[in-house]
Structure formats: C-alpha cells, structure tokens
Amino acid sequence: MAKYKIGVTDACIACGACVPASSDKFKLEATKAEPAASEVDEADVEDYKKGAESCPVQAITIEAME
C-alpha cells in the first residue's frame, strides 16, 4: 500500500479553509495549519487532498513516498 507524506509550508496564512474541507485532518494552530498525521496511507490521502485543494495559497504538500 502506498504511503504519502503530508506537510504545510510557511506560505500558510492560517485561514482554516482546510479544516472543514478535509474531515478534520488538519487543525489550526496560532500561525499555521498542522496535519493530523505527517504520513498517511492510500485510505486516508483523499481527505488530505480535499484540504489541500481548499487552500487558497497552496501551502499543503502531499508527496508519494517510495
């Protein structure tokens, strides 16, 4: 099963759009959003992708791990 690395760059403006869009896979901290997990499998990556798509500054990264 494929694994994915989830991250949030410093471009994050802490708007919170990712939280409701991704079934709460992100939480909003003082200065930026944080993912609930830094590594996920295929079963969970779709929820993280929804959060990434909602980000107005494209600060959420999702990378396939080898």
> CB–CB of 1/44 below 8 Å?
no
Yes or no: domain 3-65 corresponds to CATH 3.30.70.20: yes
1: confidence class by pLDDT, cuts 50, 70, 90: confident
- pTM for this prediction: 0.92
Structure tokens at 58: 């494209």
pLDDT in tens, 5-48: 999 999 999 999 999 999 889 999 989 999 999 999 999 999 99
**CA distance to 37, 47, 56, per residue, from 62 (Å):** 12, 11, 16
Domain spans of the chain?
3-65
